[in-house]
């Protein structure tokens, strides 16, 4: 797992925990509103009737105008908004793949890295490319990229390639068998 993926995983875990706590608190408040209402003391008992009184103070110690605001819709709105950033934060795109590919192979050309990362919405192609030399120590870079480009599961792709090699398949056949099928371009 690359450092980018580790950072995103940690951030997502933190956001998920915070979101779960907020969601649980809101659910408890909504389900047990009548029982929790009396906890609020003195002039704030209106909260138990699902209306929140916003007090505007004219002078210290005096209450001014009040405005009734429905609390349930506000809580629901806050809960929904709390989950919005967590989904976009974990997005992995082909540009992230290019960065990871350049970290794995310092000498990879932009063209080959683009071929590896084309349509990569997960880090699996780079994981596969980083580990393919453990399975085949003399595999040419281009064949390794053909094998790993578009991979959805690096471990399974490499296991398939290894088993095909054990059965006597040539590299290009093993790559065709275990790699992602490329669309044929007709001209």
> How is 117-154 classified by DSSP, letter by letter?
HTT--SSHHHHHHHHHHHH-TT--HHHHHHHHTT-S-H
Q: What pLDDT does residue 174 have?
A: 96
Q: What pLDDT does residue 50 have?
A: 45
Look at 23-32, 78-87, 135-144 and tell me which has the smallest mean pLDDT. 78-87
Residue 22 tokens read as 């907020």
117 and 43 both lie in a single domain:
no
Q: What pLDDT does residue 48 have?
A: 43
- Distance CA(121)–CA(150), nearest Å, equals 9
Which of 89, 112, 142 represents a domain boundary (last residue)? Answer: 89
118 and 142 both lie in a single domain:
yes
Count, in order, helices (H) and strands (E) of the chain: 9, 2
38 and 68 both lie in a single domain:
yes
- Distance CA(83)–CA(19), nearest Å, equals 6
Query: What would the pLDDT profile of 24-54 be if each residue is shown by its tens digit?
Result: 776 766 665 555 555 544 444 444 444 444 4
First to last CA, the chain: 40
| Between 61 and 157, residue with greater pLDDT | 157
Domain assignment of residue 186, yes or no: no
State the average pLDDT over residues 100-127: 94
User: How many domains in the chain?
Assistant: 2
State the average pLDDT over residues 149-160: 95
Domain assignment of residue 170, yes or no: yes
Residues 6+ apart with CB under 8 A from 93: 120, 121
- Distance CA(41)–CA(157), nearest Å, equals 63
100 and 34 both lie in a single domain:
no
Tell me which residue range forms the domain holding 143.
Answer: 94-178
63 and 111 both lie in a single domain:
no
Domain assignment of residue 185, yes or no: no
Which of 48, 67, 89 represents a domain boundary (last residue)? Answer: 89
Which of 64, 89, 114 represents a domain boundary (last residue)? Answer: 89
Closest CA to 117 of 136, 133, 140, 93: 93
Give yes or no for residue 175 having a pLDDT over 90: yes
Domain assignment of residue 187, yes or no: no
78 and 103 both lie in a single domain:
no
State the average pLDDT over residues 144-173: 96
State the average pLDDT over residues 65-86: 60
pTM of the predicted protein model: 0.55
- The pLDDT confidence band at residue 94, using thresholds 50, 70 and 90, is very high
101 and 49 both lie in a single domain:
no
Q: What pLDDT does residue 71 have?
A: 61
107 and 79 both lie in a single domain:
no
């Amino acid at each position: 797992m690359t450092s980018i993926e580790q950072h995103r995983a940690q951030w997502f875990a933190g956001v998920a925990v915070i979101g779960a706590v907020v969601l649980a608190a809101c659910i408890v408040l909504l389900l047990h509103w009548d029982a929790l209402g009396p906890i609020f003391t003195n002039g704030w008992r209106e909260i138990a009737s699902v209306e929140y009184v916003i007090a505007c103070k004219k002078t210290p110690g005096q209450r001014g105008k009040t405005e009734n605001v429905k609390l349930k819709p506000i809580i629901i709105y806050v809960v929904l908004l709390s989950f919005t950033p967590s989904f976009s934060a974990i997005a992995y795109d082909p540009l992230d793949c290019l960065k990871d590919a350049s970290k794995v192979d310092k000498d990879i050309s932009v063209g080959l890295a683009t071929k590896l990362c084309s349509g990569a919405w997960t880090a699996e192609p780079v994981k596969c490319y980083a580990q393919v030399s453990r399975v085949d120590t003399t595999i040419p870079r281009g064949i390794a990229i053909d094998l790993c480009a578009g991979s959805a599961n690096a471990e399974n792709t490499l296991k398939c390639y290894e088993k095909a090699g054990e059965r006597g398949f040539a590299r290009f056949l093993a790559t065709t068998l275990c790699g992602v099928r490329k669309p044929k371009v007709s001209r």
